[in-house]
Structure 1
């Protein structure tokens, strides 16, 4: 079991990673704070005084502008593989009134920044439904069905992945090493050859093992789809608490 391409794209654009916005027929890229609502629509939090606000326009709310949001995954540790790059596009429209207030709550559920209190004065919220989604990884570009994207869910472990790996590698290093060796059928060896978890998601763990300079990777599945971090804790509790 592993995340589908639609789930990976949904995870990358959820709002925890930096994003760049490109506007149709306009040169240049703009840094933007973004999030996605429960339906997968992209929200852009834009300072009133900014190049992006000027490019999007300050006119009536019904005006829509074609935009592309570009988000690159940031691996949790040096040497860990990236999930790639997500590019989603649609027609961004400025929100006002009740729509803006509802969108601010959706944004806060992902990134609770105090700047949301100034939407309508110092900041504006724009929203677009994803009309096209693409996933770029290892030189391959895949188109993702917008309906599949909308139905997918962001991985709940991705925002806390770095902390989870540090916790497993520092506080439970020996128990995790023993567990991984058993799962991979590896004999005990030098410390530099010990297996370690490089990435973790709701479906499993990516493990690297072998001697330096010739390390290999294997994926260990959890056997089911985890719902949240607490579910992972329950799953690993027998391993981490074993005598």
Structure 2
């Protein structure tokens, strides 16, 4: 079992990856710094002196139709992409108490010091997601906005590159031995290329042959501390504990 399309969209849009915003009947796209609040609404931190600010808040009271476009950045060479998330809605500037609450929600994802200048040098705009989809290599999946809002971003996504680097740099021998004992592998040494709350994605096979398998955790991981406990049997072979289950792809 891996993350659903809904969970992937929620994870990609969370605010850890670069985003582009497209505005209806406007030039663009524009690079934007964004985050999501606990309800999944998108917050955009925009310099007041910028082309994007001028397009988002041209002096009228009408909200502006926007589409946020976020492309997954694979964390390691040869790692599969999660795809591209597209979410759309009607953006409105936040003021007063709403701006302060929005800044606190943004800071929970990205505690940038520029949030201190919201209302002077920066302005926050927010939109509720009314349409969402996940674009893969050969498909586009629509995501229900209500299910999107109820989903949670993967708690490991922001630190996935560091986790994979640690497995490679400090535990390569233990990981290889564990994977060979739990997967029917052929060719060169196996390599963990993705990691999420549901398990590990392993690449293996000989030259010119790309194959992947998923090792599922006994249950979804809640945080990095729980991940450390689940990986302990892999990194310390003598330790007792639950073993991930293999799922070939």
Q: Name the TM-score class by shorter chain.
A: over 0.9
Report the Cα offset of residue 141 of structure 1.
Answer: 0.9
State the Cα deviation string for residues 29-61 of structure 1 (Å, max 9, x = none).
Answer: 00000000000000000000111001112536x
The aligned counterpart of 2:199 is: 204
User: 2:218 aligned with 1:219, yes or no?
Assistant: no
* Residue 238 of structure 1: how far off its partner (Å): 2.1
The residue that corresponds to 2:244 in the other structure is none
Distance across 2 between alignment mates of 1:39 and 1:85: 21
Counterpart residue number, 2:125: 126
- 2-structure distance, mates of 1:53, 1:97: 18
Gaps of 5+ in 1: none
Structure 1 residues 84-233: aligned runs within 5 Å: 84-186=83-185, 193-233=188-228
Q: Secondary structure at the match of 2:230?
A: helix
| C-alpha deviation, 1:205, in angstroms | 0.8
The 3-state SS of whatever aligns with 1:117 is: helix
The offset of 1:162, in angstroms, is: 0.4
Instruction: Confirm or deny: 8 A CA contact 1:197 1:208 kept in the other structure.
Output: yes
2 CA distance for matches of 1:42 and 1:75?
23
Once residues 221 and 17 of structure 1 are traced to their aligned partners in structure 2, the CA distance between those partners, rounded to angstroms, is: 25
The reply on whether 1:83 has 2:112 as its aligned counterpart is: no
Whole-Å separation in 2 of the counterparts to 1:2 and 1:31: 30
Deviations 1:69-125 (A, max 9, x none): 000000001221110000000000000001000000000000000000000000000
**Quick check: 2:185–2:205 contact (8 Å CA) kept in 1?**
no
Asked whether the equivalents of residues 63 and 94 of structure 1 are also in contact (C-alpha less than 8 Å), the reply is: no
RMSD, matched Cα: 1.3
Q: Paired residue for 1:33?
A: 33
Q: CA deviation at 1:215?
A: 2.9
Provide the C-alpha distance between the structure 2 equivalents of 1:24 and 1:96, rounded to a whole number of angstroms: 23
TM-score (norm: length of structure 2): 0.93
Distance in 1 (alpha carbons) for counterparts of 2:46 and 2:78: 34
User: Secondary structure of the equivalent of 2:106?
Assistant: helix
Q: In 1, distance between residues paired with 2:117 and 2:170? A: 41
Q: Is the 8 A contact 2:44 2:125 kept in 1?
A: yes
Runs of 4+ in 1 over 6 A off after TM superposition: none
- TM-score normalised by the chain length of structure 1: 0.95
What secondary structure sits across from 1:149 in the alignment? helix
Distance 1:194 1:31 in 2: 39
Structure 2 unaligned blocks of 5 or more: 239-249
User: SS of 2:91's equivalent?
Assistant: strand
In structure 2, what is the Cα distance between the partners aligned to 1:159 and 1:71?
14
